[in-house]
């Protein structure tokens, strides 16, 4: 007699429907020329899309390179010109709600610029390790300023030492024993930051080389070479590529920020899009303003300024890990 064969119940897995995420539809104002609608739509296709945070203003762009010779102390301040430059860089590229680890002579400028004493962890190179104000957790700091001597002695241990070990160089001033480095703290740790940096460099080189072959991007031979070499920030490459997909884009230059001569270029000066000037009578044109408002989220510049006949987009220091 054969045993009855038990039939296993068939259990059907529930089908999970993935939500459909629709991109926001931005209607162009009545009377807007066709080129503006085309470019705005292209820019809105860049993802992720968030709220625009760039500001339109008329001011001189933060450009120009700075010499890196040995710097004497600035008269009456107790700090070197390199420390002055590093403090100015922090004021321009970070915010008073970000915690900083800095050498004592720099703290006065930062307090004047709006930082709270609670957000400044100060050390004094002249006083040694005992002078270091340690944060509760090194990840609380956004930037740390170092010198060769301080990094190996004064701030080589504790939470500040951890911040130094888990940071990446973003700006440098002076040279030799007088060099002052500004480093961005990477909360995810040095290993992941190193991987992200290599990946970003590879992306800049790959897509920069492709964009350099695009005749719709009008720029000098020298700047085209820099683009092909992977020296231009990936966000700028993405924006220029999106604009060039529709028509010509006139790039005046990639202005270098002082202290960042060896870093990726995170500024771009653009004079025309689709043969339409972006600046008229010293001001951003209404059409250009509407066009630039399409730069959102990752692609929103930190600042939008005017330099002559060009609009200069400056992007924030690239997050070390993304």
CA 267 to CA 164: how far, in whole Å? 27
| Structure tokens given for 251 | 């790039």
Look at residue 255 in the predicted model and tell me its pLDDT.
97
Chain-centroid distance, C-alpha 187: 17
**Do residues 253 and 283 make contact, with C-beta atoms less than 8 angstroms apart?**
no
Mean pLDDT, residues 173-178 = 90
Rounded CA-CA distance 94/79 in Å is: 21
Which segment of 10-14, 141-145, 194-198, 271-275 scores lowest on mean pLDDT?
Answer: 10-14
pLDDT of amino acid 179? 94
For 242, residues 6+ apart whose C-beta sits below 8 A from its C-beta are 42, 43, 45, 46
pLDDT band at 265 (very low <50, low <70, confident <90, very high): very high
Computed on alpha carbons and rounded to an integer, the radius of gyration of the chain in Å comes to 25
Phi, psi of 299 (to 5 degrees): -95, 5
Could you give the dihedral angle defined by the CA atoms of residues 16, 17, 19 and 20, in that order, rounded to the nearest 10 degrees? 160
Q: How far is CA 309 from CA 66, 183, 239, in A?
A: 24, 34, 20
pLDDT confidence band for 89 (50 / 70 / 90): very high
CA dist., res. 37 & res. 320, Å (int): 34
Q: Are 172 and 262 contacting, i.e. CB atoms less than 8 angstroms apart?
A: yes
- Give yes or no for residue 106 having a pLDDT over 80: yes
Q: Is the pLDDT of residue 143 over 90?
A: yes
Mean pLDDT over 241-268 rounds to 95
d(Cα 95, Cα 132) in Å, to the nearest integer? 22
> What mean pLDDT comes out for the span 177-196?
89
| Mean pLDDT (whole number) for 277-306 | 91
Q: Is pLDDT above 70 for 60?
A: no
* 30 pLDDT above the threshold of 60: no
End-to-end CA distance of the chain: 67
Q: How confident is the model at residue 197 (pLDDT cuts 50, 70, 90)?
A: confident
Among 30-34, 154-158, 173-177, 304-308, whose mean pLDDT is lowest? Answer: 30-34
What are the residues whose beta carbons fall under 8 Å from the beta carbon of 16, sequence distance 6 or more? none
Name the band, by pLDDT with cuts 50, 70 and 90, for residue 42.
low
How large a percentage of the chain has pLDDT more than 90? 56
Q: Using the 8-state DSSP alphabet, how is residue 42 labeled? A: H
Q: For residue 109, which of 90, 87, 131, 128 has the smallest C-alpha distance?
A: 87
CB 304 within 8 A of CB 171: no
Rounded CA separation 8/22 (Å):
42
Categorize the per-residue pLDDT at 220 as very low, low, confident or very high, splitting at 50, 70 and 90. Answer: very high
Which of 42-46, 100-104, 169-173, 300-304 shows the lowest per-residue confidence on average (mean pLDDT)?
A: 42-46
Cis peptide before 237 (omega within 30 of 0): no
Average pLDDT of the chain to the nearest whole number: 79
The pLDDT value given to residue 20: 37
Q: Could you tell me which residue, 295 or 58, shows the higher pLDDT?
A: 295
Nearby residues of 128 by Cβ (< 8 Å), 6 or more positions away = 153, 154
Indicate the pLDDT class of residue 4, thresholds 50, 70 and 90: very low
Segment 197-206 shows an average pLDDT of 91
CA–CA distance, 93 with 235 (Å, rounded to integer): 17
């Amino acid at each position: 007699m054969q045993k009855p064969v038990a039939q296993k119940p068939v259990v059907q897995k529930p089908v999970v429907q993935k939500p459909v995420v629709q991109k926001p539809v931005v209607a162009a104002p009545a009377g807007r020329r066709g080129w503006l609608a085309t470019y705005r739509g292209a820019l809105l296709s860049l993802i992720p899309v968030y709220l625009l945070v760039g500001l339109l203003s008329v001011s001189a762009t933060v450009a120009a390179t700075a010499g890196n010779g040995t710097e004497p102390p600035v008269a009456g301040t107790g700090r070197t010109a390199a420390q002055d430059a590093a403090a100015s860089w922090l004021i321009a590229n970070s915010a008073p709600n970000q915690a900083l680890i800095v050498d004592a002579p720099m703290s006065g400028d930062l307090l004047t610029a709006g930082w709270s004493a609670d957000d400044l962890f100060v050390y004094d190179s002249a006083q040694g390790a005992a002078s270091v104000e340690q944060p509760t957790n090194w990840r609380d700091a956004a930037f740390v300023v170092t010198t060769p001597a301080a990094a190996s002695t004064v701030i080589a241990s504790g939470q500040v030492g951890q911040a130094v070990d888990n940071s990446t160089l973003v700006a440098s001033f002076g040279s030799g024993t007088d060099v002052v480095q500004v480093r961005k703290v990477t909360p995810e740790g040095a290993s992941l930051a190193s991987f992200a940096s290599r990946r970003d460099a590879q992306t800049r080189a790959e897509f920069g080389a492709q964009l350099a072959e695009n005749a719709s991007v009008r720029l000098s031979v020298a700047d085209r070479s820099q683009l092909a070499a992977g020296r231009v920030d990936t966000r700028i490459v993405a924006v220029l590529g999106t604009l060039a997909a529709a028509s010509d884009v006139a790039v005046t230059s990639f202005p270098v920020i002082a202290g960042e001569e060896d870093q990726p270029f995170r500024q771009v000066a653009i004079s025309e899009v689709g043969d339409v000037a972006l600046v008229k009578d010293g001001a951003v044109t209404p059409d250009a303003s509407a066009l630039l408002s399409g730069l959102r989220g990752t692609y929103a510049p930190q600042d939008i300024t005017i330099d002559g006949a060009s609009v200069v987009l400056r992007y924030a220091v690239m997050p070390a890990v993304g």
